[in-house]
Amino acid sequence: MAGLTRTAGAFTVTPHKISVCILLQLYAPSAQMSLPFPFSSVSQHNRLGLYLLSLTKSCDDIFEPKLEDLLNQLREVGEDMDAWLTDHLTNRFSSLTSPDDLLNFFNDMRGILGSVDSGAAQDDQIILDPSSNLGMFVRRCILAFNLLSFEGVCHLFTSIEVYCREAHSSSAQYDASNDNLESLIQHDQMDMEKYIMDKATEEIELQKNASGSVPFHLHTPEALFKVTEGLLVTRKEKSRTNMKKTEATPLACASSSTADDTLVDESLFLRTNYQIQGCLMEQADAIETHGSSLSSSSIESFLQKLQNLAPELHRVHFLRYLNKLHSDDYFAALDNLLRYFDYSAGTEGFDLVPPSAGCSMYGRYEIALLCLGMMHFRFGHPNLALEVLTEAVRVSQQLSNDTCLAYTLAAMSNLLSEMGIASTTSVLGSSYSPGTSTASSLSVQQRVYILLKESLRRADSLKLRRLVASNHLAMAKFELMHVQRPLLSFGPKASMRHKTCPVSVCKEIRLGAHLISDFSAESSTMTIDGSLSSAWLKDLQKPWGQPVFSQESGSRKSSTFFQFCDHLVSIPGSVSQIIGASYLLRATSWELYGSAPMARMNTLVYATLFGDSSSSSDAELAYLKLIQHLALYKGYKDAFAALKIAEEKFLTVSKSKVLLLKLQLLHEHALHRGNLKLAQRMCNELGGLASTTMGVDMELKVEASLREARTLLAAKQYSQAANVAHSLFCTCHKFNLQIEKASVLLLLAEIHKKSGNAVLGLPYALASISFCQSFNLDLLKASATLTLAELWLGLGSNHAKRALDLLHGAFPMILGHGGLELRARAYIFEANCYLSDPSFSVSTDSDTVLDSLRQASDELQALEYHELAAEALYLMAMVYDKLGRLEEREEAAALFKKHITALENPQHEEPNMA
Amino acid sequence: MVSKESCRNEIRAAIRQLSDRCLYSAAKWAGEQLVGIEQDSSNFTPSNTRFQRGSPSIRRRFSTNESISTPQPSVGFSQPPATPLPQEDDVIDGDLYLLAKSYFDCREYRRASHVLRDQMSKKSVFLRCYALYLAGEKRKEEEMVELEGPLGKSDAINRELVSLERELSALKRTGAIDSFGLYLYGVVLKEKGNESLARASLVESVNSYPWNWSAWSELQSLCTSIEILNSLNLNNHWMKEFFLGSAYQELRMHSESLAKYEYLQGIFSFSNYIQAQTAKAQYSLREFDQVEIMFEDLLRNDPYRVEDMDLYSNVLYAKEACAALSYLAHKVFLTDKYRPESCCIVGNYYSLKGQHEKAVMYFRRALKLNKKYLSAWTLMGHEYVEMKNTSAAIDAYRRAVDVNPCDYRAWYGLGQAYEMMGMPFYALHYFRKSIFFLPNDSRLWIAMAKCYQSEQLHMLEEAIKCYKRAVNCGDTEGIALNQLAKLHQKLGRNEEAAFYFEKDLERMDAEGLEGPNMFEALVFLATHLKTNKKFDEAEVYCTRLLDYSGPEKEKAKSLLRGIRMAQTGFPSMDMEHFPL
């Protein structure tokens, strides 16, 4: 802690800065320097100036480029005069043979600065304005150098040697024939130093002999440099820029490039706090964005290095905790979290939270509790997490740290809502009661609601914008899933009054997304120097580097554009993450409300705009949503193709849901094609997923048994299917999963319909409809209405009229938003209704029936839903028969036969997807 | 049992060889052991007696002399194959070596190594490398100060390590390396972080030349678990016993270590080293009185000793002996004020006096002298706790833990600090850690139980479990039994409560204690027995209560009345009591 404040903002001279100074000398040669002016055109000169500007801007970056990188960049900038530039740079370095040379060098540097009163300068001389960006940089360098003690100068001198040597050795790696250099590689640092020293003394002797006329030339022949460089550069540059790409492959590259940066970089220069914090911030973002696909060991080695350099920088421990968290290493994560808070008392690194009075004395250990709670939550220890969070609430109340309290409450509500009521009641017995004292008697839902409200209120008054936004989103989620009033008298009778309110969901989401306008309005204090300045250089480099990797520019465009915008308006990643989450939530809510295009659009918006800045699990979710959409509306072929891509991209994400979706799709596919064995197997695998050791996931469990019931239904084992569905309904009721209840009821109705027991099915269908109404699940309601109509028809053909009316009421919804299967079912059912209606004559009105049947059979082809397709075709053939169109009848019949045989021999077409 | 005479001869030769190679601390250690061997009376020279004059241990020495003079039964310790003392190549040492050694003695390490640059004898090679190593270390220390950055940057490294490693490994490959070279190789490897190779090299070194204590102690620092220790393939030699003693001590196997030292005392009966080590082990077993006597004795024999005196000061601190502590601090300060131990002693003194700021200052100084001085970190943490500066305390404790993760005191301190801040659940983790390293200490279990018992957590079942463990570990302060009884009482389990009250009563009777706990137990037992209709036993407790004055007496009287009433009031039910 103490170390942090000591020399914050210090500016130290490093070899890289000296290179920049040398280049500056070239850019604006002083009057007494006898260098030739090498620039052939003004634009060339300006180009160098622009490059230097970006270099000085980025010199606050934590990683300084190595000499080699700098030379490469120079080559790109310098065009035809590159050799001259690089030559000069390397020669200048090699002429620094003693600390005295350094002293002289900085004395010379003064010459390129114009003094305030130097009006007498010649016209053709370029003079740096001391208060310009470049001039400022030079002045800072000179000042920093003058402040150095002799020891400091010596250290600088040695680091320059290392700096130059690295460039040689790395270029030498590619040249095995050169004995001299090869031996260099084998030897280690120590030896190299000696070697250089020897060379230096040799050179001094030489100079003595030749009375200074022999310039000391770098020991690497220039030609060699050039040959090897070409290969090396492209590879490196590529991997570095790849980091920004959206596609699946570069993830590995990105990690390797960080490894490059850190592992190879022997002299990682350590600078001011700001830079380090910024760098750490970047790393943290990287850990979150890439999840466990980022190799944890490369980060680990980077952190190790950083820790060696700055043992008092405790933030490293936090980063390590994050890293371990994402690689699911419980013990190491716990250990590092505790270590971080023990050292820093929570006061280092959380600069974003405004310091409240008195916190310095006690530290901010409540934040430790908050983090610990969230960690336990992530590792699937909800009870422990709740204990810890309760303590966090207590401590932050005690220390009146409202900020932390607001966050803790939000975390708690999140925990409770994710966990369901499965295990909480006993734990919560003695714990927190916000505001009211009756908390212990409340249901978990109500408690979640109260916690959210409290958190939101505090966050609002404290102006914690991001928390406010995410609380709004959580609220939206809550409103989406829960009816406000107690759910005691829930049922068909009372249902009309208790409804979820889509308007408020919408309002909450909109409020959540307001965040972005807040951030672009205020001048942001949130960006961290380091990341910004490094971004500067990267962006500036782009146009020059373009030809090298033009082949991949197309795919990168959108993301880089937004990254660029990011830097311009400086929206922190976390903000764009929340905004992204709001789009995801929007998509989900539309999915539930039953508007497929809206859901799809929102997901697409998310995937294109926020895919880069989001955490990998969110991005995965978006992809999965899109795939699901594909499966429902375009058929399986496309869906499986998309799934393959997603699999490659997200398989490394911890708790990946890709596998789940794959099983779901395969199951669905198998059911449609009538391959019940495969369906059963998929079902079992789903059940296996549901009983993981990572804590019980209720959703997964419900999904598994729902599918089991459907498989049984398809196998015509009605009573068993009904049993499963019944117990599932009980589970849903117990855990208050209202939306799932609606679909289970529908399934029950379906089972009774299939078993020919229409009377029994009716109440289920009606109950399902009323559930759907109260939760505004329009699409589900439409499909329940369809089932209801089917049930009516099942009661006898005299109900055909009523059934048709029902169907027509639901038609707009079904045709507008329903998936292929639902639509086809509706069409077929419509035809069925007409045909069974005694007042309907086929011969006069055949087109109404035939049209829908044709439509249905087309859509079912895409789904490979043999059973329904056969039915449609059968009806078609019958109609044709009635009409006497024999040829068409035969055609339909043949197709019918094909489907029937396919249904009967499901194994025949091999299931290549599994 | 090896003969004393052979030991003596071995050590004498070894000292010469060690100091010839400038391994001074090993030579010093060997010298201490040499004088620690009990002298033959025939060998007594005036100089020998002068050394022992005025020492009270002389009497002890002569008295033990008689008992030992009978040949001791050798206790399963076979005579090891005598390791032959290496022959010295003294003759060819040459003038350059002499010059280098004198440079070395004047601490001009680089110069020394330069003088020996072309010498090929093993001895010269060793001295050259050793001098180079030390030169690198010296430069490293200087750089550490020069390079100190805003965040405690300390990437200063010994720049000689790489070349030394290369040279020594080459020598080892060709076999042109002696045991001293192997020792240096081990040290270099250890510094470079290659622990397993370092161990192998050190083992080889001590097997071929066992008298180099520095090699043994480097090896010991690499044995961080008993498994590693047992896996070492060491030749039998009496030096191995020293090694094992100290290694056991570091691994908190105090009784094993004591046994080793007891055995060694058969030969080195007067070794200060062994006495200090024994005292250390006894200290860990909390035998403070014994430790104090040992240290007093040690200081009489060796009045200018600073090593291990911080431990002595801890004992004095625990016994709250202000005067003795200040005397010790004064003496040590006169001897050598810039030793971490000295600063630590002064810190202890101020702490005892309640001047915590000053204490912290001295602990800080100790840490400046040695950043990895474990006990100073922990003690500083204690001071900060006293000063109610919990975050500083936590920081200090954490540093102690990071220096040595097995330091249960620091873990315990961390737990305590968090508990003080009202975060008992968080503190539990730390208590658990400390208990992991010292599972047999009742104080730790009691601390953990209190945490569970705290009003915020109120996890009484867990607290009961912890107290039970504490009782099993032999709770000396008697907190656990009382608490167990009370907790059971609170949970309405009167039978269990009665059981523990009774036990607690027994304990208090045995120790002759009285107090509110005693009254409480008696009142509860009397009431409990009365409600269970065990009137006779209830009466016994009541009459015991009558011995005391105060409200308890009245309570007892009313209880007794109640008992009489119950016995007489319902004659129909208790007919057998009245054999009329």
Report pLDDT digits (tens) over B341-354. 999 999 999 999 88
pLDDT at position A819, please?
A: 84
SS3 per-residue string spanning A178-214: CHHHHHHHHCCHHHHHHHHHHHHHHHHHHHHHCCCCC
Take residue A154 and report the two structure tokens written for it.
């010596």
Candidate from A8, A151, A395 with C-beta closest to B146: A151
Q: CB of A821 within 8 A of CB of A787?
A: no
Q: Let me know if A487 is exposed, middle or buried by CB neighbors in 10 A (0-12, 13-18, 19+).
A: middle
Is a pLDDT exceeding 50 seen at residue A607?
A: yes
Mean pLDDT in residue range A337-341? 85
Q: Is A9 on the interface with B (CB under 8 A)?
A: no
CA of A311 vs chain B CAs: smallest distance (Å): 6
Is a pLDDT exceeding 60 seen at residue B87?
A: no
Neighbours of A213 (CB within 10 A): 8
Mutate to test the interface with A, among B133, B399, B416, B425 (most CBs of A within 10 A): B425
CB-based burial, A175-212: b 16+ in 10 Å, e otherwise: eeeeeebeebeebeebebbebbeebbeebeeeeeeeee
For chain A positions 863-882, those within 8 Å of chain B (CB to CB) are none
User: Which among A399, A504, A406, A487 has a CA at the least distance from the CA of A444?
Assistant: A487
Q: Alpha-carbon distance A784 to A774, whole Å?
A: 14
pLDDT at position B64, please?
A: 40
Q: CB of A360 within 8 A of CB of A345?
A: no
Q: How confident is the model at residue A536 (pLDDT cuts 50, 70, 90)?
A: very low
Check CB contact under 8 Å for B414 and A342: yes
CA angle (A874, A878, A879) in 5-degree steps: 120
CA of B556 vs chain A CAs: smallest distance (Å): 38
Q: Alpha-carbon distance B274 to B259, whole Å?
A: 12
Helices (H) and strands (E) in chain A, counts: 43, 0
Candidate from A155, A276, A345 with C-beta closest to B394: A345
Q: Cα A211 to the chain's mean position, in Å?
A: 64
For chain A positions 218-277, those within 8 Å of chain B (CB to CB) are 270, 272-273, 276
- Mean pLDDT of all residues belonging to chain B: 83
Residue with tokens 């989450």: A581
Terminal C-alpha separation, chain B: 81
Q: Is B543 on the interface with A (CB under 8 A)?
A: no
Q: What is the pTM of this model?
A: 0.69
Which residues in A lie closer than 8 A to residue B456 (C-beta atoms)? Answer: 391, 394
Q: How confident is the model at residue A655 (pLDDT cuts 50, 70, 90)?
A: low
Q: Is B26 on the interface with A (CB under 8 A)?
A: no
More confident residue, A585 or A527: A585
Check CB contact under 8 Å for B421 and A365: yes
Q: Which residues pair with A128 in a beta bridge?
A: A113
Candidate from B391, B421, B425 with C-beta closest to A388: B425
Q: Let me know if A860 is exposed, middle or buried by CB neighbors in 10 A (0-12, 13-18, 19+).
A: buried
Q: Which residue in chain A is spatially nearest to B422 when comparing CA positions?
A: A395
Q: Is A155 on the interface with B (CB under 8 A)?
A: yes
Choose the most confident range, by mean pLDDT, from A257-261, A686-690, B63-67. Answer: A686-690
Residues 6 or more apart in contact with residue A388 via CB below 8 angstroms: A369, A372, A373, A376, B425, B426
CA of A330 vs chain B CAs: smallest distance (Å): 14
Check CB contact under 8 Å for A391 and B397: no
Check CB contact under 8 Å for B152 and A345: no
Give A440-454 pLDDT, tens digit per residue. Answer: 445 677 777 888 888
pLDDT at position A346, please?
A: 59
Q: Is A834 on the interface with B (CB under 8 A)?
A: no
Check CB contact under 8 Å for A310 and B424: no
DSSP A113: B
Choose the most confident range, by mean pLDDT, from A229-243, A544-558, B558-572. Answer: B558-572
User: Which among A225, A109, A105, A108 has a CA at the least distance from the CA of A160?
Assistant: A105
Q: Alpha-carbon distance A584 to A571, whole Å?
A: 19
Check CB contact under 8 Å for A3 and B402: no
Q: Is B225 on the interface with A (CB under 8 A)?
A: no
User: Which among A574, A653, A652, A654 has a CA at the least distance from the CA of A281?
Assistant: A574
Check CB contact under 8 Å for A395 and B155: no
Candidate from B146, B160, B424 with C-beta closest to A155: B146
Check CB contact under 8 Å for A391 and B426: yes
Q: How confident is the model at residue A570 (pLDDT cuts 50, 70, 90)?
A: low
Q: How confident is the model at residue A504 (pLDDT cuts 50, 70, 90)?
A: confident
User: Which among A558, A570, A556 has a CA at the least distance from the CA of A609?
Assistant: A558
Q: Which residue in chain B is spatially nearest to A312 when comparing CA positions?
A: B151
3-class SS of residue A447: helix
Q: How confident is the model at residue A550 (pLDDT cuts 50, 70, 90)?
A: very low
Is a pLDDT exceeding 70 seen at residue A201?
A: no
Is a pLDDT exceeding 60 seen at residue A178?
A: no
Mean pLDDT in residue range B333-339? 89
Mean pLDDT in residue range A228-247? 32
Q: Is B146 on the interface with A (CB under 8 A)?
A: yes
Q: Residue A644 is which amino acid?
A: K
Q: Is A339 on the interface with B (CB under 8 A)?
A: yes
Which residues in A lie closer than 8 A to residue B429 (C-beta atoms)? Answer: 334, 338
User: Which among A329, A335, A460, A447 has a CA at the least distance from the CA of A393?
Assistant: A447
Is a pLDDT exceeding 90 seen at residue A122?
A: no
pLDDT at position A529, please?
A: 38
Terminal C-alpha separation, chain A: 57
For chain A positions 307-326, those within 8 Å of chain B (CB to CB) are 308-313
CA dihedral sign, ordered B67, B70, B71, B75 = negative
> DSSP H helical segments within A463-572, as ranges?
465-481, 502-513, 515-521, 529-545, 553-565
Q: CB of A190 within 8 A of CB of B163?
A: yes
pLDDT at position A684, please?
A: 87
Q: Alpha-carbon distance A622 to A615, whole Å?
A: 11
Which residues in B lie closer than 8 A to residue A372 (C-beta atoms)? Answer: 426
For chain A positions 534-593, those within 8 Å of chain B (CB to CB) are none
Q: Alpha-carbon distance B58 to B297, whole Å?
A: 11
Q: Which residues pair with A113 in a beta bridge?
A: A128
Is a pLDDT exceeding 60 seen at residue A826?
A: yes
Q: How confident is the model at residue A461 (pLDDT cuts 50, 70, 90)?
A: confident
User: Which among A913, A746, A892, A720 has a CA at the least distance from the CA of A825?
Assistant: A746
Measured CA distances, B244 to A665, B11, B247 (Å): 65, 19, 5
Candidate from A310, A339, A342 with C-beta closest to B151: A310
Candidate from B150, B162, B423 with C-beta closest to A369: B423
Q: CB of A834 within 8 A of CB of A849?
A: yes
Is a pLDDT exceeding 70 seen at residue A350?
A: no
Is a pLDDT exceeding 60 seen at residue B128?
A: yes
- Mean pLDDT of all residues belonging to chain A: 70
Give A771-796 pLDDT, tens digit per residue. Answer: 888 888 888 889 999 999 988 888 88
User: Which among B482, B438, B80 has a CA at the least distance from the CA of B284?
Assistant: B438
More confident residue, B289 or B474: B289
Residues 6 or more apart in contact with residue B190 via CB below 8 angstroms: B198, B218, B221, B222
Q: Let me know if A819 is exposed, middle or buried by CB neighbors in 10 A (0-12, 13-18, 19+).
A: buried
Q: How confident is the model at residue B383 (pLDDT cuts 50, 70, 90)?
A: very high
Give A55-106 pLDDT, tens digit per residue. Answer: 777 766 556 677 777 887 777 776 666 677 778 888 888 888 888 888 888 8
Mutate to test the interface with B, among A190, A268, A317, A348 (most CBs of B within 10 A): A190
Candidate from A310, A372, A395 with C-beta closest to B152: A310
Q: Is A432 on the interface with B (CB under 8 A)?
A: no
Which residues in A lie closer than 8 A to residue B402 (C-beta atoms)? Answer: 339
Mean pLDDT in residue range A414-431? 54
Q: Is A501 on the interface with B (CB under 8 A)?
A: no
Take residue B111 and report the two structure tokens written for it.
């110069």
Q: Alpha-carbon distance A130 to A147, whole Å?
A: 19
More confident residue, B478 or A684: A684
Residue with tokens 């280092």: A348
Give B475-514 pLDDT, tens digit per residue. Answer: 777 788 888 888 888 888 888 888 888 888 888 888 877 7
pLDDT at position B111, please?
A: 92
Q: CB of A238 within 8 A of CB of A256?
A: no
pLDDT at position A357, please?
A: 38
CA angle (B63, B65, B71) in 5-degree steps: 135
Take residue A764 and report the two structure tokens written for it.
């289920």
pLDDT at position A543, please?
A: 37
Q: Is A381 on the interface with B (CB under 8 A)?
A: no
Q: Which residue in chain A is spatially nearest to B410 when comparing CA positions?
A: A342
Return the minimum-mean-pLDDT range out of A325-339, A687-701, B375-389: A687-701
> DSSP H helical segments within A58-178, as ranges?
67-78, 82-94, 99-111, 133-147, 150-172
- The size of chain B, in residues, is 580
Which DSSP string corresponds to A660-726? HHHHHHHHHHHHHHT-HHHHHHHHHHHHHHHT-SS---HHHHHHHHHHHHHHHHHTT-HHHHHHHHH
Which residues in B lie closer than 8 A to residue A312 (C-beta atoms)? Answer: 151-152
pLDDT at position A484, please?
A: 58
Return the minimum-mean-pLDDT range out of A30-39, A474-483, B100-109: A30-39
pLDDT at position B382, please?
A: 92
Query: Dihedral (C-alpha) B565, B569, B570, B571: value to the nearest 10 degrees?
Result: 110
Mutate to test the interface with B, among A159, A335, A391 (most CBs of B within 10 A): A391
Q: Is A387 on the interface with B (CB under 8 A)?
A: yes
For chain B, percent of residues with pLDDT exceeding 90: 28
Is a pLDDT exceeding 90 seen at residue B133?
A: yes
Does residue A420 come out as left (phi exceeding 0), alpha (psi in the -120 to 50 range) or beta? left
pLDDT at position B105, please?
A: 92
